[in-house]
Every structure is written in structure tokens, then in C-alpha cells.
Amino acid sequence: MPIDERKTMSNMTNVIQNIVLENREKLNISGVLDVLSFDDQIVILETELGLLTVKGENLRINKLSLDTSEVTVDGEIVQLAYSEKENMEKGGGGFLNKIFK
């Protein structure tokens, strides 16, 4: 999806999500609806803008507040990736679908 379409989509839904990565060791995320899965190498979050997958080493959730929709992940962060919610619901080869086959 082109950046212009994403901006338009964000403006239409009035959703603001902030992601702050400090020295690839501390990740602060707002707009989090739920933590779907986590271990020391991967954290999967449901956000207002889609599913966010965080990959790395020695990952741990340091702060979790679903009341304020904020999550803090500490560890060595190597990758952040968004995917659409519909892909997981349709069984589009998502991470959790592969585990529970």
C-alpha cells in the first residue's frame, strides 16, 4: 500500500500510533489492543493499525498497560513488521496458524 493511501487511511480512522525505538534495545508502542503471542525471540501485538511483529533476542515485555494501550519491549530488537489483521483471520499462512496446525 502506498504511503499516501496509508496517510489517508490513518486520517479517516483518527488513529494515532507511536513507535519509539531507542538504540535497538527498548521499544515503546502506543495503540496496542492485545498481546497475541510472546517469547524471547518474537512478540506479536494486535494494534489499531494491524498486527505488529517484533523479532529479536532476549525479548521481554517490560511494561504492559492495555488501559492506556501502551507496551514496552526490551531486548535486542532486529525487526519490526506490520501485517493486516485480515491475513491472520483468513488463515493466510500466519505465524500462529502454522503453530496450531
Range of the domain at 13: 3-85
Least confident among 4-13, 26-35, 37-46, 72-81: 4-13
What is the pLDDT at residue 52?
96
Cα distance between residue 19 and residue 82, in whole Å = 12
- Is 90 domain-assigned? no
Asked if residue 29 is part of any domain, the answer here is yes
Contacts of 87 (CB under 8 A, 6+ apart): 51, 93, 94
Specify if 101 maps to a domain.
no
Instruction: Sheet with 26-30: list strands edge to edge.
Output: 19-22, 26-30, 70-83, 50-65, 42-47, 32-38
Residues in the chain: 101
What integer pLDDT is reported at residue 68 of this predicted model?
A: 92
Whether residue 20 lies inside any domain: the answer is yes
Q: How far apart are CA 52 and CA 66, in angstroms?
A: 15
> How many distinct structural domains can be found in the chain?
1
Percent of the chain exceeding pLDDT 70 equals 70
Q: Tell me: the pLDDT tens digits for 27-55?
A: 999 999 999 999 999 999 999 999 999 99
